[in-house]
Structure 1
Amino acid sequence: MEKIGYSKMWNLDKVFMGGSKSSQFLNHINRIESLVNELEDSVKSLMITPLSSNENFKVVHLVESIGNISLYLSQANSFITCLLAENPKDQDAGFLRGNVGQEESRFEKQLSIVKKILTNTNEDVWKNILEAEELQEYRFILNEWRENADRYLSDEELNLISDLMGDGYHAWGHFYNDLVSSINVNIQINGKIESLSVGQAINLRSHHNEEVRKEAHYVLESTWKEKEQLFSKIINHITGFRIQVNKKRGIKSALEEPLKKNRMKEETLNTMWNVINKHKQPFSNYLKRKAELIGGSSMKAYNFWAPVTQSNQELKFEKAVALILEHFSQFGTELEGFARQAFSEGWIEAADRPNKSAIPFCAGFPLTGESRVFMTFSGTFLNVLTLVHELGHAFHNHAMKSVNGLNKRYPLSIAETASTFSEMIVFDAAMKKANSKKEQLFILDEKLKRSVMNFMNIHSRFLFEKRLYKERNEGMVSAERLNQLMEESINEAYAGSLEQPSIYSWVWTPHYYLTQSPFYNFPYTFGYLFALGIYAKAKEKGKDFEKDYLILLRDSGSMAVEDLVMEHLGEDITSEEFWEKGMELCVKDAEEFMDLTSKIVRGY
């Protein structure tokens, strides 16, 4: 085992020196402004003179310009996200966010106009333009723009919506993050009252002491109840804005835009949920058995993340890093080398301290070819898995380094694949190294939690969001009704196998407030089952599979998911057969858990 010291604090100065007072970053923002000005001039010229068959050079110029601006904006937004995560009270960072938001709003407005111009271009002219050699690698995304343009909106409406997106809509999402980050709660641990951030309090869900888990759960529930009216306003405004914009765009279904963004057919999504609904019983059995092992008759929400072996072992950060590197090395040299670079060069913020954001994430910096991972590491195996999950996102960014700007934008459904795949590597390696049935049970329990989260918890989020949109379409939805919708959705998704669920899940689940990504729930489940299918092939081919895996990730920004899976796995994901393969592995885990625990006397 390696004995190297790794810092729990990241280094942002390597990206922009000086934090939120960085003159280097101000120059970056100025550069974005200049690039958007140039784009506006190009678009004005194109609006005056429609495209003709021999003017593919204009499209090439536009595509390259848009791709370049996208990279600059991504770099800027990632930096600001990191600054506000480490210090949510950084007012200078908040000011910078506003400046970048204005430029992003201007950019999105021009992008919408470009899409509309392409949509209105004569079909024969369009075909001739796409034949240009310089546009071959952009054909997928150009056709996607042409198909998904806001053809129902006037230029005035496009301008108005663009302005509102920056000044109001996205601001609600930022307000939510700022609000959650500002909350501290008092929880008694080992006889001592401690003031904790929301992130630290949520980490207590895997504490070995049930009383600590229970208190943390109800303290947070009480906190959400106190602020439910405020949070209900935020979620109502976000949802209401989307509904009104969708109506203007001629979009009738709340799922239409998320499916397009995920480059996925509704048939694929429905097939996935159908398979999941047919196989919930094994996971209900698992929840009941785990509750019995802990000492109850049914699974209480605050005990779900409890370690089934009641282990008090704390995992040091250095040991966690060494384990991750060791397990990654069993898959391939590229993944191991990448992770080693991330730990060695200060890409990870994992300090366990108050007054930092509660939300783990990975931020990509495409201009410098780096990523940053943010989390709170308190020494649990769950923390290790969170770290591995976010490193998977970072590895996806790494795989896309050689891809041009526009084709770096892969859908969320694929984004969750690399992160889940990385978890599978660690799970499998840890299971092989387990020295006892007790240790195997611990690892298997953690693995099954992922299945329950994806097949039950994520399903509850999906059901809630669908119902929220339906009711919000008729008017404001009260906090009381939001609680009811959440409870109904949880009971249905868990098939009644979860006791005392958090009816305030709609408050503390940040995905509902991601203004850029409505319905950021089903991509997790898609990515989970998709990753299982990929991992099965990886086990067949061994380390030789890493090259194929990297190619798949590189193609993820330039293909529909159905085509991507068919191209690289030879599978039809609109058929239940594909999803049954991944589900079979998960059901096998549940059955193995039941078998192992049937031979263990309670209180072992």
Structure 2
Amino acid sequence: MNYAQTWDLDAIFSGGTASPALKEKLQTIAQELDAFKANVNQFTNRLSDFKQLLTEQEKLEKALLQASTFANMAHDANTKDTYAPVIKGEIMVLFSELNKVGNHFTQKLVDLDEETFAQFLADDDLVPMNFVLTEQRKKGARLLSEREETLIAELNKDGLAAWSQVYDTIISTMTIPWTNKQGETVNLSIGQAMNRMSQDNDPEVRKQLFTAWEEAFNHQAPIFADVLNHLDGYRMTLQEKHQYKDHLEEPLEYNRMSKATLEAMWQAVSDNKQPFVTFLKKKQQLLQLDSLAWQDVDAPLSVGDHEAMTFTYDEACDFIIKHFSAFPKLTAFTKHALENRWVEAEDRNDKRPGGYCTSLPEFDESRIFMTFTGSASDTSTLAHELGHAFHSDVLTDVPYLNQHYAMNVAETASTFAETIIANATVQSARSDEEKLSLLNNKLEGATAMFMNIHARFIFEDNFYKARKNGVVSHEQLSKLMTVAQKEAFHGALNTYHPHFWSSKLHFFIDDVPFYNFPYTFGYLFSLGIYAEYLKQPKNFEEKYIALLKDTGAMTVEDLAMKHLGVDVTNVDFWAEGVKLMAKDVDQFIALADQLENN
């Protein structure tokens, strides 16, 4: 089947970011927001009024998210859309207003006496939302006065959110020069350069692009350092005023996990790095490189006459559908998403870099953004994002408040889907050479989770500590990044990426602090779920969906205990997941040695 590689944006709002329908939508939201504000102001302690306010808040949030998602989609797919920043600015103002009213509503919830709050929780309609309402009340106790929170919301428009937007704007204007074998120099977008830099078969192309990449980000480093310092300095000030003890307390609270769980996870990773160092050293040998540089870590691997597996977009879609087949509901969902243009995958130079899955809550639908270049890695990325979309889909029949799952468990469904495809490709290999290449792809994911993302966490943790003492220079940021990479990669690399801190979008996202460690959590957590599937595959999809439906309604410790019967504060749980991937290293080394000896 032929699958479209571009979004159908007109199905959301016809006419792009200047759409009259979008403009009318924002005007309606503004009017309904005024009504919601008036109703919150009048609220005392009547249960019926409280439930009505929850309904109004849900409607407004969905409407604003719908508009915001569309504007971001349009801009990400066409960074030359000059009107997109204007409409995104208008939406940001409305979000700020909703946030202010929402804080007032939360304060009303905090002000309820214990007896009244208990009566609210006992209501049949609210019982399913008890965890989230109790959580909101607890978080609400951190709020400052209404006047102060209103001021914070106003300042956020030109503070936290604005600094993040500055980063996006700079990235959209940057290009990376690349000279091909014909001597022609072309300017690649950041997204195109990033994909080619890691996926090109020619080490000289990778090296040329990486050198140009470092030069480009070094040139912009003083500006990016300003952005990062101000963004996180602003956040640290808010954290202090909201009585967070340190820079990790807020992201842990957001991810509904304890510090003990985070520490147990990283301890397990740190204790079990050697197999992945061995993998990278063997890969260096197979690539016939004198040393392994940063840009070589994810390089395609071809042994003998075998060339790295490639896919057309249609082939990738069909491959995913075929290998999702053990999960009927996931398969049916995937077909629907691909056939109805939910994915923007076309490779062109006017797109922003990266990939993501986003929601259109008024449609109960998702959309996926990526740039598909034909690699097996891109196929895995597509499966990953489809996993995210499936997670959102199974939650559409639970209360809206329970649909707000945190990032760490958000990565569970995506990584589970990616694991299905990674294992399927290895098992369906047509030769030992192809199997080795596919094992390489799979282990690249493991090294990303256990090394690259670990480096991001180490860097960010140390940056926040340094930021407490004042602004951190771009030179010092690069030193912190290099130190973190050396520790996380455990001596596997000969050269590093000092300006990774400035080129990675995740450090500059305004709404979620410490964006990175949830990836490793989700990866290892999903391995535990996949292991359970292998033990008892019959009717597993229903059990899996039941777990996903609980992801927005309990802590990760309770989620793991309820559905897997495991204690995630125990290092052993995480170590088992790491060791499971180490078995793939053993298989990779054995197969590589066999091929070399033939």
TM-score normalized by the length of structure 2: 0.96
CA distance in 2 between partners of 1:313 and 1:264 (Å)? 39
CA contact (8 A) 2:294 2:497 kept: yes
Partner residue in 1 for 2:480? 485
Partner residue in 2 for 1:396? 391
Q: 2:7 aligns with which of 5, 10, 13?
A: 10
CA contact (8 A) 1:287 1:298 kept: no
Partner residue in 2 for 1:295? 288
Q: Is the alpha carbon distance of 1:586 and 1:92 closer, same or farther for their aligned partners in structure 2, counting shifts above 3 Å? A: same
CA distance in 1 between partners of 2:438 and 2:412 (Å)? 21
CA contact (8 A) 1:291 1:300 kept: no
SS at structure 2 position matched to 1:187: strand
Structure-to-structure mapping, 1:187-202, within 5 angstroms: 187-191=178-182, 192-202=184-194
Q: Which moved more, 1:556-565 or 1:187-196?
A: 187-196
SS at structure 2 position matched to 1:214: helix
Partner residue in 1 for 2:251? 258
CA distance in 1 between partners of 2:212 and 2:538 (Å)? 47
Structure-to-structure mapping, 1:221-236, within 5 angstroms: 221-236=214-229
Partner residue in 2 for 1:522? 517
CA contact (8 A) 2:192 2:353 kept: yes
CA distance in 2 between partners of 1:68 and 1:408 (Å)? 14
CA distance in 2 between partners of 1:339 and 1:401 (Å)? 16
CA contact (8 A) 1:8 1:349 kept: yes
SS at structure 1 position matched to 2:40: helix
Q: Cα distance, 1:152 vs. partner?
A: 5.3
CA contact (8 A) 2:301 2:308 kept: no
CA distance in 2 between partners of 1:179 and 1:340 (Å)? 37
CA contact (8 A) 2:272 2:579 kept: no
Could you give the per-residue CA deviations for residues 297-326 of structure 1, whole angstroms, max 9, x where no partner exists?
A: 542111111112262554211111111111
SS at structure 2 position matched to 1:358: coil
CA distance in 2 between partners of 1:554 and 1:313 (Å)? 36
Q: 1:207 aligns with which of 200, 205, 208?
A: 200
Q: Is the alpha carbon distance of 1:312 and 1:276 closer, same or farther for their aligned partners in structure 2, counting shifts above 3 Å? A: closer
SS at structure 1 position matched to 2:324: helix
CA distance in 2 between partners of 1:134 and 1:568 (Å)? 24
Q: Cα distance, 1:31 vs. partner?
A: 2.7
Partner residue in 1 for 2:164? 173
Q: Which moved more, 1:63-72 or 1:409-418?
A: 63-72
Q: Which moved more, 1:202-211 or 1:290-299?
A: 290-299
Partner residue in 2 for 1:267? 260
Partner residue in 1 for 2:27? 30
CA contact (8 A) 1:184 1:195 kept: yes
CA distance in 2 between partners of 1:314 and 1:440 (Å)? 14
CA distance in 1 between partners of 2:133 and 2:263 (Å)? 27
Which amino acid is 1:79 matched to? F
Q: 1:540 aligns with which of 526, 535, 551?
A: 535
Q: 2:274 aligns with which of 272, 281, 290?
A: 281
Could you give the per-residue CA deviations for residues 155-214 of structure 1, whole angstroms, max 9, x where no partner exists?
A: 221111111112322011112112112212221233342321111111111111111111
Structure-to-structure mapping, 1:386-425, within 5 angstroms: 386-425=381-420
Partner residue in 1 for 2:18? 21
In the alignment, does 2:112 pair up with 1:117? no
Partner residue in 1 for 2:334? 339
Which amino acid is 1:287 matched to? L
Q: Cα distance, 1:509 vs. partner?
A: 0.8
SS at structure 2 position matched to 1:13: helix
CA contact (8 A) 2:366 2:392 kept: yes
CA contact (8 A) 2:402 2:552 kept: yes
CA distance in 1 between partners of 2:332 and 2:299 (Å)? 33
CA distance in 1 between partners of 2:449 and 2:289 (Å)? 24
Instruction: Count residues with an aligned counterpart.
Output: 593
Q: 1:184 aligns with which of 175, 179, 183?
A: 175
CA distance in 2 between partners of 1:44 and 1:337 (Å)? 46
CA contact (8 A) 1:484 1:503 kept: yes
CA distance in 1 between partners of 2:173 and 2:154 (Å)? 28
Could you give the per-residue CA deviations for residues 48-95 of structure 1, whole angstroms, max 9, x where no partner exists?
A: x4x3xxx22232122222222222222122111101101123222211
CA distance in 1 between partners of 2:309 and 2:143 (Å)? 59
Q: Cα distance, 1:150 vs. partner?
A: 4.9
Q: Which moved more, 1:535-544 or 1:453-462?
A: 535-544
SS at structure 1 position matched to 2:285: helix
Could you give the per-residue CA deviations for residues 120-179 of structure 1, whole angstroms, max 9, x where no partner exists?
A: 322222212211112112211110011112535122211111111123220111121121
Q: Is the alpha carbon distance of 1:574 and 1:508 closer, same or farther for their aligned partners in structure 2, counting shifts above 3 Å? A: same
Q: Which runs of 4+ in 1 moved over 3 A?
A: none
Structure-to-structure mapping, 1:39-438, within 5 angstroms: 39-46=36-43, 49=44, 51=45, 55-151=46-142, 153-191=144-182, 192-204=184-196, 205-309=198-302, 311=307, 314-329=310-325, 331-438=326-433
CA distance in 1 between partners of 2:121 and 2:401 (Å)? 16
Partner residue in 2 for 1:583? 578
CA contact (8 A) 1:207 1:307 kept: yes
CA RMSD in angstroms, aligned pairs only: 1.6
Which amino acid is 1:149 matched to? G
CA contact (8 A) 2:567 2:573 kept: yes
Q: Cα distance, 1:21 vs. partner?
A: 1.9
SS at structure 2 position matched to 1:362: strand
